[in-house]
Structure 1
Amino acid sequence: MTALGFLYPGHSAEDDYPRIEQLLGSDIRVDLVHTEVGEDAHRVDALKELGTPERLAAGVEQLRLAGAEAVVWACTSGGFVHGWEGAHEQVRTLALTAGMPASSTSFAFVHAAAELGVRRVAVGATYPDDVAELFADFLRRGGLDVLSVEGAGIVMAAEVGRWTEEDVLALARRADRESAEAVLLPDTALHTAALLPALEKELSKPVLTANQVTVWEALRLTDRRVNAPSLGTLFTREPIVQV
């Protein structure tokens, strides 16, 4: 049994995690602890407050007692708003506090793209434009070529959690570009775990979504690889061999 730990802000799409655990169909346990949100707003100042060391540390002990072998900060915007260096420092502090390997959803997107061997990506973000552009900047620092950034202008995560399948598909279609090798949909408040086959069929290319890559990142940290086609191309590919 491999136990994966996640720190998830508030309550929006946390039910994606038990769904993913079920779809993995293996000896994987997903443990999720909710962190304090404060102000629910996709605004830079509020997002920086969301991922402070104190708020993340508050949930770590529960994950440690549950036997988690790695922890991921399951919030895209609560990572990349700190910039590339700041997000690295956030993860380093979390790892030291938790006493186990740690990462965040923001880095999960970069690592997942590398796993698929893709460089040219399109972004469909629920965020306001300024926040969406910060995510694109983060991806560029990670070596990706961002061809398009489509923001939906949603301020509150609670609203994102109520999006329908058609809302998600529409955002992905708007964001996609013919030359993009993959489409990225950030925001762990967005329900996508059940939609990955439909998204990839619609776009005819890999789609990376926040909760999907977050769980994949935790598996990567624990050196586990699980074949789960219902979770998209990311969960079916052999690792890219760097030469």
Structure 2
Amino acid sequence: MELNIPEFEGPLAQRGIGVIAPFDLALERELWRWAPLEVSLHLARTPYEPVPVSRAMAELVSERRHLMTATRDVLHVEPEVVAYLCTSGSFIKGVTYERTLCDAICEAGAPCAVTSSGALLEALRHLEITRLSVITPYDAELTALLHDFLYEAGVEVARSTHLGLGGGIWKVNYRTIVEHIMAADTDEAEAIFVSCTNLPTYDVIAPLERELGKPVLTANQLTIWACLGRMKLPMSGPGKWLRGVF
């Protein structure tokens, strides 16, 4: 039997996204569900810090030197964009600080940079949303800092709920997440934002958008969406309001 080798020119050409994740990220599989077949995700992690999920942890995992080191760790595979996949770490010190994190990633050699909180603001601008309901897995202090970040960006928080977790966020079941999203909804909110890249949300977005009739925006969804937009690629997965935005 003779094999016609010229028919097999190699695997599908891959385009890369570098991902800087906090040390405790447990949702790599969810990230891959957002990516089209031609996109590979290349992860690097910030150093382990023996602290619970809190303001202190958000400050530690967003240190400029950690982000620059992690960026250099993924550059050898030539990503087209590098994302800092952490919501709290990118909103913790306000809008200006979020921009400095992108600057640090680019200074380390990335062609362009995205953060989870920056992706949120991009989506809200594109969708012309100024009133938002918020759900977080954080404690009250960290949730309040997200409110401050949104207020600084000109976005009103119509209603908010938080789970008060100090760890194990990836273990929260879908029923609990859906109950809190429903509780956070209000007629005044034009959309709902679910914070934290370690909170599983993929399978609840589409049914909730159908039920509530408004965008349900989540941290992993928005981060990958913003990266793909810079690559001129469409987003895979749920989130009908974001399709065709870039």
Identity of aligned residues (%): 23
Measured after TM superposition, the shift of residue 169 of structure 1 is 0.5
Measured after TM superposition, the shift of residue 71 of structure 1 is 0.7
Measured after TM superposition, the shift of residue 143 of structure 1 is 2.1
Q: 1:232 aligns with which of 233, 239, 244?
A: 239
Q: Amino acid of the residue matched to residue 112 of structure 2?
A: P
Counterpart residue number, 2:224:
215
Stretch of structure 1 that moved more, 195-204 or 41-50: 195-204
Contact residue 8 and residue 73 of structure 1 kept, 8 A: yes
Any gaps of 5 or more consecutive residues in structure 2?
A: 1-13
User: Hey, what's the Cα distance between the residues in 1 that align with 2:159 and 2:61?
Assistant: 27
Counterpart residue number, 1:118:
129
Measured after TM superposition, the shift of residue 227 of structure 1 is 5.0
CA root-mean-square deviation: 1.8
User: Hey, what's the Cα distance between the residues in 1 that align with 2:138 and 2:90?
Assistant: 14
Aligned length: 232
Q: 2:60 aligns with which of 24, 39, 49?
A: 49
Contact residue 143 and residue 162 of structure 2 kept, 8 A: yes
Contact residue 163 and residue 190 of structure 1 kept, 8 A: yes
* TM-score for both structures, normalised by structure 1: 0.88
Counterpart residue number, 2:72:
61
Contact residue 102 and residue 221 of structure 1 kept, 8 A: no
Shift in CA distance, 140/201, structure 1 to aligned 2, threshold 3 Å: same
* TM-score for both structures, normalised by structure 2: 0.87
Please tell me whether residue 180 in structure 1 is matched to residue 193 in structure 2. no
Any gaps of 5 or more consecutive residues in structure 1?
A: none
User: Hey, what's the Cα distance between the residues in 1 that align with 2:224 and 2:245?
Assistant: 17
Measured after TM superposition, the shift of residue 40 of structure 1 is 4.4
Counterpart residue number, 1:104:
115
Measured after TM superposition, the shift of residue 121 of structure 1 is 0.8
Contact residue 133 and residue 149 of structure 1 kept, 8 A: no
What does residue range 1-243 of structure 1 map to in structure 2 within 5 Å? Answer: 1-10=14-23, 11-21=25-35, 24=36, 26-156=37-167, 159-222=168-231, 224-226=232-234, 228=236, 230-239=237-246
Contact residue 127 and residue 152 of structure 1 kept, 8 A: yes
User: Hey, what's the Cα distance between the residues in 2 that align with 1:139 and 1:84?
Assistant: 8
